[in-house]
Amino acid sequence: MDNKEVIDHLLKIESDAAALVNDAQAEADNRITEAEKQNRAAFDRRYVEENQRFEKEFLQLKELSRQEYQKELEIYKEKISSMHVNNDRFSNLLDSLVLGEG
């Protein structure tokens, strides 16, 4: 084998190695892209699930708060309606405060 044949052989090996590296890089890029797609899809699914869970919990708490508010309002209304109002005494108090009478 003369020098030219050796150099040609080495260049062919180097060319084959470069092609192999390029193929490996392309395969790695494809795998990374596919993994990113799968991770994004998994993230999106989880995001939607968590969002739905939080929305459901929020609506339940909102309804519970509304019910508690209604109960407290009814208790207050009952308390107010059961109070005896002395209109004469109240009028006298207002007269003394506003008009300085009494």
Instruction: Give domain limits for the chain.
Output: 3-99
In angstroms, the CA 10 to CA 93 distance is: 114
**Does 101 have pLDDT greater than 70?**
no
> CB-based contacts of 51: which residues, under 8 Å, 6+ apart?
none
Provide the pLDDT for residue 92. 86
Average pLDDT over residues 72-97: 88
pLDDT of residue 1: 72
Mean pLDDT of 10-30: 96
User: How far apart are the C-alpha atoms of 66 and 79, rounded to whole Å?
Assistant: 20
The answer to whether residue 6 scores a pLDDT higher than 70 is yes
Does the pLDDT of residue 16 top 70, yes or no? yes
Give the max Cα distance, the chain.
Answer: 133
